[in-house]
Amino acid sequence: MTLLQRYEQPCDVEKIRRETGIQNWNSVLRHCLELYMDGEVNGLKTSRGWVFWRGNPQPCDDGKPTAGRTHGPKKQQPWEGDPQ
């Protein structure tokens, strides 16, 4: 849990596994899910897996929560510009 307190952004299971030195990814997920079920951490299942955090996640520029986001706001492509 102290690992999650150090980061402002949510952490995925792989990052938690590397930082803690635990070898088994499934063990980390199980422990994080137990903490989530006990209400000690927040969690969100995304299309790329679970992310966990303590407290409120910091918002991105567009005001949406950052949990599960892998990038910032979408950049406009050259062909999406205003027609002249």
Residue 62: predicted pLDDT? 47
- The CB-side HSE value for 81 (13 A sphere, CA atoms) comes to 5
* Pairwise CA distance, residues 52 & 45, whole Å: 9
* Pairwise CA distance, residues 64 & 73, whole Å: 10
What is the CATH number for 46? Answer: 1.10.10.10
* Pairwise CA distance, residues 42 & 44, whole Å: 7
Burial of 10 (0-12, 13-18, 19+ CB in 10 A): buried
Q: Which amino acid is at 16?
A: I
Instruction: Give a yes or no: residue 13 inside a domain.
Output: yes
Tell me: the pLDDT tens digits for 31-63? 999 999 998 889 999 998 999 998 765 544 445
Instruction: Give a yes or no: residue 74 inside a domain.
Output: no
| Entry pTM | 0.62
Structural domains in the chain (count): 1
- C-alpha distance across the termini of the chain, in Å: 54
| Residue span of the structural domain in which 57 resides | 2-65
Residue 9: predicted pLDDT? 83
Instruction: Give a yes or no: residue 70 inside a domain.
Output: no
